[in-house]
Amino acid sequence: MDRATPHCSKITRRFLDSNKDTIRLEYLPVGSPEFNAVEECWRQGKYHILSTYYPTFDFLEDTISHYYRTTRFNLDIVKYLMRTID
């Protein structure tokens, strides 16, 4: 996990403390988006979504929402992370 504000909130910390027997956290290095698979999903979405003209902001917003709700990303997480180690 990264150190984004929602991941450090009191609610999140309480949840993690109460589930520390079943959840083990691994922090991503600061400033290393290449280790965060979600960044790859954002990159793919940006490529697909922003290659089209949207006449209104509402249409763009609906398109983004639909894309991320329906797209299945075929991302092998181990292969994705291991690509940076050579």
CB atoms within 10 A of CB 72: 5
| Structural domain range at position 16 | 1-31
pLDDT of residue 31: 74
pTM (2 d.p.): 0.52
Run of H or E residues at 56: none
Token pair belonging to 35: 């280790």
Give yes or no: residues 46 and 86 share one domain: yes
Q: How many residues does this entry show for the chain?
A: 86
* Total number of domains constituting the chain: 2
39 in the same domain as 8 = no
Instruction: Give pLDDT tens digits for 22-71.
Output: 888 777 777 777 777 788 888 888 888 988 999 999 999 999 999 999 99
